[in-house]
Structure 1
Amino acid sequence: MKGIDTQMPQNQRAVLELLYRVSREFASALELKTVLTRVLFAAINNVGGERASVVVMDDHGRAVESAVVYGNQLREVTTIQLRETVERGLAGWVVRSRQAVLLPDTSKDPRWLRREDDAVERSGAKTAICVPLLAREKLVGVLTLVHPVPKAYGEEHLSLMQAIADQAGVAILNARLFSESQRQARVMTALAEGAVSMTTSLHMDEVFESILNQTQHALQVETAALGLVDKSSGEIVFRAATGKYSEKLVGRRIQAREGIASKVVREGRGASVQSVTPDVCLAQAEQLPGETTRALSCAPIHVQGKVIGVLEAFNPINKVFDPDSLLTLTGLGGLAGSTIQNAQLFESLDAAQQRYRDLFEDSIDPIVLTDLRGNIFEANRQAAIFSGRTAEALRQTGIEQVHEVNFEKTGQDFEKIGDSAVVYESTLYDQAGGAHPVQVYARKVVFDGAPSIQWILRDIAERKELDALREDLSAMIYHDLRSPLSNVLSSVEMLATVIPDAEKETSDSVLRIAHHSIDRIQRLISSLLDLNRLEQNQPLGERLIVSIPILIGEAIEAVKPAAEGREQVLEVRQDEHIPAVFVDVDMIRRVLINLLENAVKYTPPEGHNRISARADGEFVRISMEDNGPGIPESDRERVFDKFMRLKNGQGNPGGLGVGLAFCKLAVQGHGGNIWVESAPEKGSVFVFTLPVAKEE
């Protein structure tokens, strides 16, 4: 320790030279730590003393920086350790009063905060000078000088300390402002670099690595970790970490109401712990494995106002966090939120595209993608197999070279293809000249951000073979059943003429049943043949002008035996003047009989059926109402499909499923329409319309 000179400079010139030298020395530095060190050594060297300390205050009166010198050595003392002195000791009194003070004997003044080294048996009483540091009438800090001997300082020492403090105040304020601007610049630089670095990738692992590297660099910490909230449990799961023992942090979970991180998630704002003491409740996952968690700072990761995770920084390299560290971490957390969200969206999109590609490649149907002009740019495995071309060869062809495009459906420039599929049957040609029947589904899609057309070419070879078998069956029915039935009918009619009159009463009912059964079989055969012809858009047979009431009467006669057998009532309601219609008479008669037979079949015994007819503008409207079990709304469209069979009253499917399909095609072939409605009470109402015959 330098010898203590208690003799002050005697002449004013010496004092002025001292202050000039000190002022120049203070003003020649801008870094706050350097300025504080020079102030302390200026006090010890020019006033004398054992130790000196300075605490720097911000505009709100908070201690933000400090320095302590013992003899010729600068000691590491944190701002936290000096806050007690500023709040309760002699420095605190000076801060509150803004007055300089000289304590000749610290043991006799209650303003002196006694420490262990102040015990009489150790170093005894001391002399202390404490002066405020003012600049532009603002308090910027407090300077304290201590001598180990009581009554070592006098008023002249106090005056010199005040003079040094006057010079130091402005220098410390400038250095503090410079330090704050430097910190703000570091914050802005860290955020700017973070924004650039975090957006260089959309892969989640790379995004996590970039966020943590920026966090560790900006806050100068030993370890940084990133945790995301598990939506199902509410726990925070550390997804990534960097720095010391980082590999042991990944995968750790923080319970919903444990530790600093969960508090940050709940409250939505950051928190910083400068010194982890026993009363600080850390989660087990926040205790660094193999290392003591001395300090930590935690900021939320926000996405659209919702906290999805946290950024945590552990153990600053400089022992304490900078004042702006939490602000920096919060800014990085904000940037991380949008970056993580973008990466999550990218991963979801990438996964969806991969699922689409897997479905695309694994589909059993040939699929090709074209641009809006029909040029193929993508084809799946089945398209290559069916066409006999490689996928690369397909990409050099147009869609019209793969199959016969129905331009009437698609439009010459494919302008009719929209979001809903355009469907038609066509033929796919392979490289060897083979032809494959296909059903084409074409619709617009967006692929890789560009509008495209997806063509699904479904193989219908088996269906075509079944259709051919059905046509063969129809031909067989026509040729192999119609002729024998005609012979049976002729035989029944002949029997009616040869049976003696005495036996006719018994035989007539039997022959009538046989006659009606033969008629039903012939109607079924005719319906099957007509159904096949109508499906192929063949023209109707001979058309005549006929009265609907006549056809209704003939239909009722055909089904009367079945209705009487079930003790049902057949009611007819028709207008007095109903216009005639121009129809294939036999076909429309069978439509009426089919509807009446269905009504009789599904109506319970002793039930009631009603057939009605009336004029409806340019159409004649005929309806068949029963009081059977009714048809669910979900089945009212499908009921007219070919081979669609509804359950009868006993819960079993009835019929072959061709009757209503025939009715639909027959009515539509005449320019009418057919549908089913609910009966007012119970049952169904089948309604169809036929155009009124045009007058010649």
Structure 2
Amino acid sequence: MTTDHTQNLLELLYRVSREVATVLDLRTVLQRVLIAAIDNVGGERGSIVVMDGHGNPLHSVIVYGQRIQDDTTQQLRATVERGLAGWVVRNRKSALVPDTSLDERWLHRPDDDVEQSGAKAAICVPLIAHEEIVGVMTIVHSMPNAFDNGHLELMQAIADQTGVAILNARLYTESQRQARVMTALAEGAVTINASLQMDDVYHRILNQASQALQVETVALALQEGPGGDFVFHAATGDNAGSIIGKRVPANKGVIGKMVREGRGIVIPALKEKNPFAKGDFFDEIESNVIAVAPIQAQGKIIGVMEAINPISGVFDPDALLVMTGIGSLAGTTIQNAQLFEQVEETQKRYRELFNDSIDPILITDWDGLILEANRKALSLCGYDTNAIRKLKIEEIHVIDWDSVGKEFDYLRDNHTATYEAILQVKDGDGIPVEVYLHNVNFENEQVIQWTFRNITERKALDALRDDLASMIYHDLRSPLSNVISSLDLLDSLLVDKDEATDSLIKIVGRSTARMERLISSLLDISRLETGQPIATQQGHSPKKLVQDAFDAVTPGTETRRQNLYKILPDDLPNIWVDGDMISRVLINLIENSSKFTPIEGNIEVGAKVDGEWLQLWVEDNGIGISSEDRAQIFEKFVRVKGKEKISGLGVGLAFCRLAVEGHGGKIWVDNDYQAGTRININLPIKKNK
């Protein structure tokens, strides 16, 4: 190599280095390198293809003389895959092709035919930086054998000098692209998440996608359940109105391909390879170029976003990445908007039910301040909305704090409380109501809902029933007393009675005595329920009361061959009670045990001292009482459910409870007693003066 040749080569490399060192824009760097190579090597046209880190074509430029051709990457992809450039990349070696018609490495195109430009000469060299192929550069001359090894050496020198510059420009371009993507996604996140109204959310998503991608049309579809069709709900751009409402099966076309692969797809602007071009996708739109990206939420595809026909003719390399990012943002926002719509619809339905309820309903905070009242509450209480909102709930009725707990603590655990009260109205007498209250979510706040059910008619019926019952009981008592007196007189007159007559008179006597106990118990129930105190308490021997009860029930238990037992210590103290009432309590409990105890079963009555109380119990080995029935057997007209139908009105145990509680004692079913039933009562012991 001569000194002049070396000097010229160094000057060339200096000029090339200076040209590419002053810029970082990848496209500008490629243009300057390629023009410098054509000018100094002598080619008529040339190309550079830049590769990414995985060897895929990323960017390219083609120069004809001084004319630069845009958007050539897709055209040069085949050359990189199958042509001379591909061979150079795979072998990491430069190639000199004196005659392209004689070299099988050259990918022949229609313009290589003899009738066209014919055979050519070509040089192709790899662009290497830090042992990585960053691209491949090719120059072509229209005359075969126009290049020799000197041209190849010059071309290789230019490639060696510019490889690092191209790598830096590629990295700079990638960082700029990433910055654009991040900026677009950040702006998209702020814009898309600014609303929860569904129509506004659609509008913001489409506008953001349209601005970021610069396309003619953007459309958005949501899937109707898993595996369902995609239905387009919104669109913007050319012929957007014709898209809305269209349905696309989830397993067909480009959407089906996207669903199967779970990622976005770009259908490039190659009409011969684009099955969706010329109206195949939307009848009203010539869809030359399409990008499809999934809309995802919680890892599932819930919709799809379509970008159709970029204004520039092709999508930028980062278009799919931007679309996928916007789709992910859109998925979360759409799901939130759907949930918001559901909440709004639920609250709307709740408010409709609230206002249309036939019962008065009030909403208060946890301090009792009234926040809302439905129409029925306003009508019944006589206040308008503004006036009732100034009141506290305790101003219109007396709260039963035992039912709701201190500061409504019982309601905070999602419990429901109920009690009866008098609702105070603005003008007029109070109204008896049944109050139901529990905590609810009202306009995104936890509040208390009070429902007042007017029970005026029920109270009137209860009073009428009680008055009627009391009247009947009194009217029955008088003739029954006459029957009992007549029976006693008849018994005394019949001195020489035979056995049959005596037995008949005793049966009638026991029956009338039972009727008298029942009437007395019903009258006691009526008095005790109204809160009248027991005024006839005296000291009574529990042994005598138990024996009296045994005498009354023995005929019935003997008929069933049941065994009665007493466990009564000798030193039992007297109890301070109404003797007749407690005797009837014991008779009721023993007769109740007898009903549910089998033939030849056992019934035991016992007593023991428990502090200031005497505990009596009645125990049997009968069918027992279920845990569900134990809580209510002492209520009026409640009867234990069993296989056998047992006669009775269901008032005996109710009378026992009222009688015992009227003495200040208590009555309960022993929960630990497994076989049969044991009922306990506590009664006060007579105090010595």
> Please, what TM-score do these two structures have when normalized by structure 1?
0.84
Q: Aligned with 2:633: secondary structure? A: helix
Alignment of 1:287-686 (within 5 A): 287-290=281-284, 291-292=286-287, 294-299=289-294, 301-303=296-298, 306-315=299-308, 317=310, 318=312, 320-405=314-399, 418-419=412-413, 420-421=415-416, 423-443=418-438, 447-450=442-445, 452-499=447-494, 501-503=495-497, 505-565=499-559, 567-577=560-570, 579-580=572-573, 581-603=575-597, 606-615=599-608, 617-618=610-611, 619-625=614-620, 627-628=622-623, 630-646=624-640, 650-651=644-645, 654-670=647-663, 671-675=665-669, 684-686=677-679
Residues 116 and 209 (structure 1), Cα distance of their counterparts in 2 relative to 1, 3 Å cut: same
One-letter code aligned to 1:569: Q
In structure 1, runs of 5+ residues without a counterpart are 1-9
For 1:600 and 1:278, locate their aligned partners in 2 and report how far apart those are by CA, in whole Å: 98
Provide the C-alpha distance between the structure 1 equivalents of 2:34 and 2:563, rounded to a whole number of angstroms. Answer: 120
Q: Structure 1 pair 278/642, CA: closer, same or farther in 2 (3 Å)?
A: farther
The answer as to 2:42 corresponding to 1:53 is no
Matched residues in 2 for 1:614 and 1:259: separation? 89
Q: Note closer, same or farther for the CA distance 1:657–1:138 as it changes in structure 2 (3 Å cut).
A: same
Which deviates more from structure 2 when the two are superposed, residues 505-514 or residues 130-139?
A: 130-139
Residue equivalent to 1:4? none
* Deviation of the 1:192 alpha carbon: 0.5
Relative to structure 1, is the Cα distance of residues 254 and 663 closer, same or farther in structure 2, using a 3 angstrom cutoff?
A: farther
Alpha-carbon distance between aligned partners in 2 of 1:226 and 1:74, rounded to the nearest angstrom: 38
Moved more, 20-29 or 507-516: 20-29
Task: Give distance in 2, aligned partners of 1:236 and 1:481.
Answer: 79
Amino acid at match of 1:522: E
Partner secondary structure for residue 270 of structure 1 = coil
* CA distance in structure 2 between the partners assigned to 1:168 and 1:119 by the alignment: 34
Output the CA distance in 1 between the equivalents of 2:672 and 2:229.
58
Share of identical aligned residues, percent? 47
Alpha-carbon contact 2:294-2:301 (below 8 Å) kept: no
Map of 2:134 onto structure 1: 140
Q: State the AA in 2 paired with 1:612.
A: V
Would the alpha carbon gap of residues 184 and 544 (structure 1) be closer, same or farther in structure 2, given more than 3 Å must change?
same
Letter in 1 for 2:136: V
Q: What displacement does 1:130 show? A: 1.9
Work out whether 1:115 is the aligned partner of 2:109: yes
Q: Alpha carbons of 1:106 and 1:253: their partners in 2 closer, same or farther (altered >3 Å)?
A: closer
CA–CA distance in 1 between the matches of 2:541 and 2:342?
67
RMSD of the TM alignment (CA)?
Answer: 3.8
Deviations 1:524-561 (A, max 9, x none): 22222222232233322322333333223222322333
Cα distance in 2 for partners of 1:418, 1:26 equals 74
Letter in 2 for 1:600: S
CA contact (8 A) 2:657 2:666 kept: no
Structure 1 stretch displaced more, 270-279 or 466-475: 270-279
SS across alignment from 2:204: helix
> Equivalent residue of 1:539, what SS?
coil
SS of residue paired to 2:147 = coil
- Rounded Cα–Cα distance in structure 2 between residues aligned with 1:145 and 1:441: 90
Q: Is the Cα contact below 8 Å between 1:643 and 1:656 reproduced in 2? A: yes
Deviation at 1:379, TM superposition (A): 0.9
Per-residue deviation, 1:589:
1.4
Deviation at residue 150 of structure 1 after TM alignment:
0.9
Determine helix, strand or coil for the equivalent of 2:434: strand
Q: 2: distance between equivalents of 1:237 and 1:162? A: 55
Displacement of 1:64 after TM fit? 0.1
Q: 1:617-638 CA deviation, whole Å, 9 max, x = no partner?
A: 434241232535x544322222
1:216-260 superposed Cα distances (whole Å, 9 cap, x missing partner) = 4334455555555655x44463463434666546563544x6666
Inter-CA distance 446–292: structure 2 relative to 1 (3 Å threshold):
closer
What displacement does 1:293 show? 7.1
Is the CA contact 1:235–1:253 (under 8 Å) kept in the aligned structure 2?
no
Is the alpha carbon distance of 1:541 and 1:309 closer, same or farther for their aligned partners in structure 2, counting shifts above 3 Å? same
Q: Which moved more, 1:406-415 or 1:441-450?
A: 406-415
CA distance in structure 2 between the partners assigned to 1:59 and 1:506 by the alignment: 120
The letter of the residue matching 1:587 is: M
Report SS of the residue matched to 1:640. Answer: coil
Distance verdict in 2 for CA 1:610–1:281, change over 3 Å: farther
Q: Counterpart of 2:432 in 1: which secondary structure?
A: strand
Indicate how the Cα distance of structure 1 residues 81 and 401 shifts in structure 2: closer, same or farther if over 3 A, else same: same
Residue identity matched to 1:610: I
Distance in 1 separating the partners of 2:104 and 2:65? 26
Q: Is the 8 A contact 1:265 1:310 kept in 2?
A: no
The reply on whether 1:214 has 2:205 as its aligned counterpart is: no
CA distance in 2, matches of 1:263, 1:676: 71
* Residues in 2 aligned to 1:608 and 1:413: alpha-carbon distance in whole angstroms: 52
C-alpha change, 1:484 and 1:202, in structure 2 (3 Å) is same
1:187 match: 181
Asked if 1 retains the 8 angstrom alpha-carbon contact of 2:265 and 2:291, the reply is yes
CA distance in 2, matches of 1:647, 1:15: 113
TM-score (norm 2): 0.85
CA–CA distance in structure 2, aligned partners of residues 167 and 316 of structure 1: 40
Q: In 2, distance between residues paired with 1:578 and 1:359?
A: 67
Q: Distance in 1 between matches of 2:684 and 2:345?
A: 56
- Asked if the contact 2:205–2:326 (Cα under 8 Å) also holds between the matched residues in 1, the reply is yes
Asked whether the equivalents of residues 209 and 240 of structure 1 are also in contact (C-alpha less than 8 Å), the reply is no
| More off after superposition, 401-410 vs 12-21 | 12-21
Query: Deviation per CA, 1:587-615, whole angstroms, max 9, x where unpaired?
Result: 221122222333334456x4524133142
Question: 1:626/1:482 Cα in 2 relative to 1: closer, same or farther (>3 Å)?
Answer: farther
The answer as to whether partners of 2:222 and 2:304 remain within 8 angstroms in 1 is no
Which secondary structure does the structure 2 equivalent of 1:623 belong to? strand
Q: CA deviation at 1:394?
A: 1.1
Distance 1:386 1:270 in 2: 62
- Residue 176 (str. 1) matches residue 176 (str. 2): no
Deviation at 1:199, TM superposition (A): 1.4
Residues 243-283 of structure 1, C-alpha deviations (whole Å, 9 max, x = no match): 4666546563544x66665676677x53434549999999x
- Classify the secondary structure of the residue corresponding to 1:639: coil
Aligned to 2:531, the other structure's residue is in SS state coil
Deviation at 1:387, TM superposition (A): 0.5
Deviations 1:400-443 (A, max 9, x none): 33234457877997788755455443322222223211233455
- CA 1:132–1:179 in 2, change beyond 3 Å: closer, same or farther? same
Instruction: Find the aligned partners of 1:286 and 1:668 in 2 and give their Cα distance.
Output: 87
Amino acid across the alignment from 2:484: L
- Report how far residue 489 of structure 1 moved: 1.5
Q: Match for 1:240: what amino acid? A: H
C-alpha distance in structure 1 between counterparts of 2:246 and 2:346, whole Å? 26
**Cα distance, 1:342 vs structure 2:** 2.9
- Read off the aligned partner of 1:472 and give its amino acid letter: D
Say if 1:693 and 1:195 are closer, same or farther in 2 by CA, change over 3 A.
farther
Kindly indicate whether the alpha-carbon contact (under 8 Å) linking 2:437 and 2:450 is maintained by their aligned counterparts in 1.
Answer: yes
* Structure 1 contact 574–613 (Cα < 8 Å) conserved: yes
| Aligned residue type for 2:654 | A
* Cα distance in 1 between the residues matched to 2:411 and 2:488: 60
Distance 1:575 1:251, change over 3 A: farther
